[in-house]
Chains A and B, each alone.
Chain A
C-alpha cells in the first residue's frame, strides 16, 4: 500500500529499519503513532533522543551508564575484590536479577569469533587486564555457553593464568525444568564434567 502522505511513508521507512520489524509491522506502528495524543508522541520521541544523548559506556567496566563511572563501579556496597566478566550489557542485567552476585563487572562487548573476524583487539580485553591488581581475589568468567563464548573463556583463562588470580567459570549443563533424556550428547557431557560432590 502506498500512503498519500510522504511523512507517513518516511516514518514507515524508519521503523522498518529496526531489527525484527518488517514492513507490515512498521505500517501498523506508524498508524498507531498517528492516533496517539501529541504529548505521548513527544515523550516517546524525547526518550529516543535522550538515550542517544545521555547514555554512554562506563570507562571502567564498559557497561552502559548515564554517569561515569557507573553506579556499580562507584558503589561502596559492592565487593570490589571480585570481577564478573560478561559479553554484553544485557548479561549484567541478567546476573543482577539473580541478586546472587555483589561484585563488579567487566563487559567485553562481544566474544571471540575468528570466522566473523572478531579477535581480542576488538574486545575490552586490554582494559580488563589493566583493572587487575593485588586487590582482586577472583575473576568469574560468565560467557555464553556456545563456541564463541567457550573460545573466549579458553583465551582469557590462558591470559590470566600467569597473574595467579583465582579464575572461575560459571557452570554449563542442563537448563532447569528440562528433561535429562532430551538433552543432547554435548550438553550432557558438559553437565557431567561440571558435577559437584554432595
Chain B
C-alpha cells in the first residue's frame, strides 16, 4: 500500500552498500523503519532529508505485518537550518530525537506526540538561548501524553494551589507525579524527591506553557542540572528500558 505522511527522522543505519535503514516517527503510524535505497550513492534521490532531526514529507510502500517498509520519496517539509549551528542546539535537538526513539514503541501512532516532537525541534531551532529548556518542556508534556504526567497544580495533602504556596521546597513523588508541600511533610524524605520551590515553579511553567515559550525562562545552571536529573529519574521510573540521554551527557561533557 502506498502511503504519504509527514515524519521526523530519528536515526539512520547503513544497510548494504549504498542504502540505509531509517527510523522515522511518522504522524500517521508512529515509529517505523524504512529502507532508503541508494541514499549513500551518487544517485541519492532523497537529498539531505533523511538526516536525523529533519521534518520530512515521505511516501512509502507500507507492507502489512512487516516491520520494515520501503521508502519511495522523501523531502524536507520544514526547514530547520539552525539546528546544526552550535553545540547546544545540536545536542538538544538530538536529545529530543533520542528521547522519542527511546520511549516510543514501534508502529504505535500518536498524533499528539508527533505534534510535540515537531514543535520542540522547531523551538530548539528558533531559540536564541536556553535550548535545554525546550527539551525539559518536551519531557514534561511527553510524560502527560504517555500517561504519567506530573500533577503539580496543588499539594496532594492540603490541596493548596501552587500559586498560593510559598515554600522553600516540596516533595515530588516519582510513583504518581504528585507534589506535597513542605508545610504538610516537613523535611521527611519518605514522600519522594526533594525539589526546591524554584524548581517546582519552573517545572510547572515548563509543563503549562507552550514549548516555544520554554526558552524565555531563565534558569541557573544548578537548577537546570537538578531539573534534568529529576526528569531523567522520573522517566526511568515510568518507562521501562529508558536510560540517561547520551546527547545530554555530550552537552555537559564540553561545558
Q: Which residues of A contact B (CB under 8 A)?
A: 19-20, 112, 114-117, 119-120, 146-147, 150-151, 154-155, 158-159, 175, 183-187, 189
Contact = CB atoms under 8 A, between A and B. Distances in A.
Contacts of A147: 51-53, 84, 90, 94
Given A115-B10, A115-B11, A185 B90 contact: no
Nearest to B84: A150
Contacts of A120: 250, 253
B76 to A, nearest CB: 5
B29 to A, nearest CB: 20
B83 to A, nearest CB: 9
A20 B15 CA distance: 8
Given A150-B84, A185-B79, A114 B47 contact: no
Contacts of B51: 146-147, 186
Contact of B76 (A112, A115, A158, A184): A184
Interface size class of B (residues with CB under 8 A): 20 to 34
B97 interface: yes
Contacts of A116: 11
Interface string B77-101: 0010100101100110011011001
Contacts of B75: 184
Contacts of B52: 115, 147
B90 A151 contact: yes
A198 B233 CA distance: 55
Top-9 shortest CB links A-B: A184-B47, A114-B246, A114-B247, A186-B48, A185-B79, A20-B16, A147-B52, A154-B87, A189-B81
Contacts of B54: 186
A154 B91 CA distance: 10
A155 B246 CA distance: 14
B178 interface: no
23 contacts: A20-B17, A114-B95, A114-B246, A115-B10, A115-B11, A115-B246, A117-B246, A120-B250, A146-B51, A147-B52, A147-B53, A151-B90, A154-B84, A154-B90, A155-B250, A158-B87, A184-B49, A184-B76, A186-B47, A186-B51, A186-B54, A186-B79, A186-B81
Contacts of A189: 79, 81
B47 A187 contact: yes
A183 B47 contact: yes
Contacts of A117: 246
Nearest to A21: B16
Contacts of A119: 246, 249-250, 253
Interface in B234-248: 245-247
A115 B250 contact: no
B254 interface: yes
Central interface residue in A115, A117, A186, by most chain B CB within 10 Å: A115
A154 B83 CA distance: 12
A187 to B, nearest CB: 5
